[in-house]
Amino acid sequence: MSKYDAIIIGGGHNGLVCASYLSKKGYKILILEKNENLGGLVHCASSLKGFSSKILNDLKINLPTLNYKSYVVALHSDQQHTILQENDKNNINFIQSSANEENQKKFSSLINKYKLFASTLSNFMYEVPPRLKSGNSEDTWKLIKMGWKIRKLGKTNMREFLRIVGLNIADELEDNLSDDTLMGLLAHESILGSNLGPRSPGSILSLLYRQAMQNGLFTSEQYDFHQLIPSLEKNCINQGVDIKINASVKKIITTNNQATGVILKNEEKIDAGIIISNADPKTTYFDLLGTEPLDTDFIRRAKNIRTKGNIAKLSITLKDKPIIKNIEKEKMNAKFIYAPGINYIERSFNASKYDKYNENLCFEFHHCANVIAANIYYVPYVKNTTHAKESLIQQSINSLKPFISNLEIENAELLTPNEIEEKYHVTGGHWHHGDLEIDQMLMMRPFYGSAQYATPIKNLYLCSAGTHPGGGITGINGRNAAKKIMGDKK
C-alpha cells in the first residue's frame, strides 16, 4: 500500500494551498519541488495584493498584516506625476494629478462601473467551472446561476456589461477620458501579463477579470508579501505534509489509464493514489505525462494553449534607497507605473508581435529599502534564440533614469521570459501559465476537455495557474482543485 494518498508536483503557492486543504481533511501528502526553495513564480513577484482572505481564514493562517496604506503613482516625463489611493470605502482619492476635475470624476466613475461588473465575475472564482454540453444537472444549474448573476445587474447595467465585455480598453477610455496619463494607467492594468495591447479586443474583459481576482485595482496591500510562502509551508508541515526539495519529477506513472505514482530524475519511484500537477498544463501533458494515453483531439487542443510570456523581471540594487523625483518621502510606499498613454503602450505591443521589444518600454516597479523590483514589458518570449540581455538591461535602466535621482547601481539582474521558463519550468515564461482571454477563461481554461481540474487520466489533477480562475497570487486554483478532489473521492 502506498505511503501517500497524493503527490503534488511543484511547491508553488497553489501547490501549498492544495496540500493544506487536503491534509486538513486527513490526506497524507507529499510535495515534490524541483528547485531549492518553495514558492515558484512567487519569487518573480514583488507585492501581495490579491491573496485570498477566504483561504487564509479557512486554513487559520495568520499572515502578518501591513499597518500602512500604499499608493499608485503614474509617472510622467515632466515629473507631474499622478498619485492616487483607494480608500477604505473603495473610492478613488486623487492625492496629486495634472488631470482636470472632470477627468478625475470620469476616471472614478469608470472604476466604479468596472468594480460592479467585476463583482459579478468574482462570484465564479471559487467554483469549479461547469462542463459544457455535459447534460449533467449540476453543470446546467451552474450555467443558469452564472446567467442569473449577470441578469441581476439590472437591465441597463446588464446591457452595458454585454456591450463592453468583448471590446478593447482603448475605445472605452478614449470615449470617456482625455487625459493621457489616466488612460495609460487603466490601459496598463488591462494588459499587464497578457498578450494583448490596449486596442486588442477582450482587453476590457482582462481588466474585469483581474479586478475580480484581486478584489480591486488600486487597493492597498493587506499582507506581508515575504511571509506568504513560509506561512503556507509551516501550515503544511504542521498538518503532516512531507516536502522534498531538489526533487525533479521525470515522469507520471500510469496504469490502465490511471495515475499511480511518479518517477524522479534520479529514477526513484514513489507511488500514490492521486497525482496533482502544479506545473503548467503543457508541461504536465507533454513532459510529465506524455501523449501516449491522450487522444489526438485532446493533444491538438493542449498544443494550442497560448503561453507566450512578454514580461521581463528586473531587480536593481542601489547604493541607497531610491529617491523618485517630485514624490514626497511619505508617498514612496507605492507601485510606480510608467505607461504614459494608449499609443505608447500600443507601439510597444506591436513590436512584441514580431518577437522584438520596442525602444520605448513600459514598466511598473516597487521598492524595498534599496532594491527596486520592476516588471518590464513588452519583452516577448522567443524560440530558438534570445534577446541581447546586456542591451536590454541597459535600456531598462535608461527608462528608469529620468525618474530616479540617485540611480547609483551596485547590481542589476534581469530574467527574460525565456529565463523564467528555464528557471521555473513554465512554458513560454508566462506568468499565468497561459493567456487570460475569453477562449482560455472559466469553463474553457486551460481548454475545453481539461477545465475542471480533472484530466482524462483517472486520479490525475491540475492545480496550477493554468486552471480556473487563472494566474496571480491568489491561491484560489489550489483551493478549488482540492475541493474538486475531495468531492470526487466522497
Residue 153 located in a structural domain: yes
Q: Are residues 230 and 301 in the same domain?
A: yes
Contact present, 81 and 327 (Cβ < 8 Å):
yes
Q: What is the CATH number of the domain that holds 231?
A: 3.50.50.60
Digit-coded pLDDT (tens) for 49-108: 778 889 999 999 988 877 777 899 999 999 999 999 887 667 889 999 999 999 999 999
Residue 95 counted as domain residue = no
Residue 70 covered by a domain = no
Judged by average pLDDT, the poorest of 16-20, 119-123, 288-292 is 119-123
Same domain, yes or no, for 418 and 315? yes
Average pLDDT on 378-386 reads: 91
Tell me: do 326 and 416 sit in the same domain: yes
In a domain, 28, yes or no: yes
User: What string of DSSP letters covers 333-353?
Assistant: SEEEEE---HHHHHHHHHHHT
Structural domain count, the chain: 3
Same domain for 371 and 437, yes or no, is no
Look up the domain containing 345 and give its range.
Answer: 311-424
Tell me: the pLDDT tens digits for 122-145? 878 998 888 877 777 888 888 888
Q: Please say if the pLDDT value at position 418 is more than 60.
A: yes
Statement to judge: residues 384 and 464 lie in one domain: no
Residue 73 lies inside a defined structural domain of this protein: no
DSSP 99: S
Mean pLDDT of the chain, nearest integer: 92
End-of-domain residue from the set 176, 194, 214? 214
Are both 324 and 287 inside the same structural domain?
A: no
Residue 159 has pLDDT above 90, yes or no: yes
Question: Is the domain of 254 the same as that of 403?
Answer: no
Looking at residue 292, its pLDDT comes to 93
Tell me the three cell numbers of residue 413: 539582474
Residue 338 sits in the same domain as residue 408: yes
Counting residues of the chain whose pLDDT is more than 70, the rounded percentage is: 99
Closest-CA residue to 434 (of 477, 373, 483): 477
Phi, psi at residue 230, to the nearest 5°?
-55, -35
Q: Give start and end residues of each alpha helix (H) in 123-266.
A: 137-151, 155-164, 169-176, 180-191, 203-214, 228-238
| CA gyration radius, the chain | 22
pLDDT of residue 149: 87
| Domain's final residue, options 390, 424, 458 | 424
34 in a structural domain: yes
Asked whether residue 355 carries a pLDDT value surpassing 60, the answer given is yes
Sheet-wide strand order for 92-96: 92-96, 82-86, 71-74, 334-338, 362-368, 371-377, 311-318, 409-415
Task: Tell me how crowded residue 469 is: count the other CB atoms within 10 A of its CB.
Answer: 24
Q: Residue 214: pLDDT above 90?
A: no
**Residue 300 sits in the same domain as residue 315:** no
Q: Residue 1 pLDDT > 80, yes or no? A: no
Residues 448 and 472 in one domain: yes
Looking at residue 457, its pLDDT comes to: 97
What does the alpha-carbon distance between residue 395 and residue 353 come to, in Å, rounded to a whole number? 19
Instruction: Give residue-wise pLDDT tens across range 453-490.
Output: 999 999 999 999 999 999 889 999 999 999 999 999 87
For 73, the enclosing helix (H) or strand (E) is strand 71-74
Residue with cell 482636470: 100
pLDDT at 6 over 80: yes
Please say whether the beta carbons of 474 and 51 come within 8 A: yes
Tell me, yes or no, whether 109 and 209 share the same domain. yes
Position 268 in a domain = yes
pLDDT at 45 over 90: no
H-type alpha helices, 338-436: 342-352, 389-400, 417-424
Residues 129 and 175 in one domain: yes
With respect to residue 14, please indicate whether it lies within any of the assigned structural domains: yes
> pLDDT higher for 314 or 222?
314
Which range (166-175, 189-198, 212-221, 319-328) has the least confidence?
212-221
pTM for the full model? 0.93
Domain end call among 192, 214, 236: 214
For residue 146, is pLDDT > 90?
Answer: no
- The residue whose grid cell reads 518621502 is 329
